[in-house]
Amino acid sequence: MTVEDVRIIELPKFTDPRGNLSFVEQLNHIPFEIKRTYWIYDVPGGEARGGHAFKVNEEFIVALSGAFEVIVDDGRKKEVFLLNRSYYGLYVPSGLWREMQNFSTNSLALEFGSMHYDVKDYVRSYDEFLKLKSNEEI
Ligand code: TYD
């Protein structure tokens, strides 16, 4: 996988004077079966989260409120995706280094995963990631 496989998917948006509504469906907007949902909140200013890669897990990330950036790196190329709308979803395939930064105050990151939590699926060393990538092991 490369950063070219990462994409922002615009989700349905029902604007309404009573408040807007958006939704996601698995195997529709989210191109995998959802096994896990988690969220990141109360991020202090200047902090970054998620500096790691997943070997198998795929992700779909939504900034439910506020904004933050997701940096995706395939070992050759890096791209920064700004999530600043509640109706944007970022699809991140497996085998990519990803980090989240520049969280706005009160931002809320919702993440869907294709796997249950599995510590063995994490690659936490960037050097190890580059090695796996160059050997085409992830
Ligand atoms: P982690 O994914 O390591 O966050 P980051 O890469 O931003 O540091 O998650 C932090 C901790 O939360 C980790 O030690 C284990 C726990 N955790 C779960 O138990 N289940 C989950 O689904 C996730 C995402 C994390």
Mean pLDDT confidence for 9-26: 98
**40 Cα to the center of ligand 1, angstroms:** 10
93 and 2 Cβ atoms separated by less than 8 Å: no
| pLDDT interval class at 58 (50, 70, 90) | very high
Give me the percent of the chain exceeding a pLDDT of 70: 100
Question: How far is the C-alpha of 5 from the C-alpha of 81, rounded, in Å?
Answer: 13
For 15, 29, 36, 79, 93, the CA distances from 68, given in Å and listed in that order, are: 23, 21, 21, 14, 19
29 is catalytic: no
pLDDT at 7: 97
Q: What is the pTM of this model?
A: 0.96
Confidence of residue 31 (pLDDT cuts 50, 70, 90): very high
Q: Average of pLDDT values for 112-126?
A: 98
- For ligand 1, whether the C-beta of 35 sits within 6 Å is no
Average pLDDT over residues 50-76: 98
User: Which amino acid residue places its CA nearest to atom 13 of ligand 1?
Assistant: 119
Rg (CA), the chain: 15
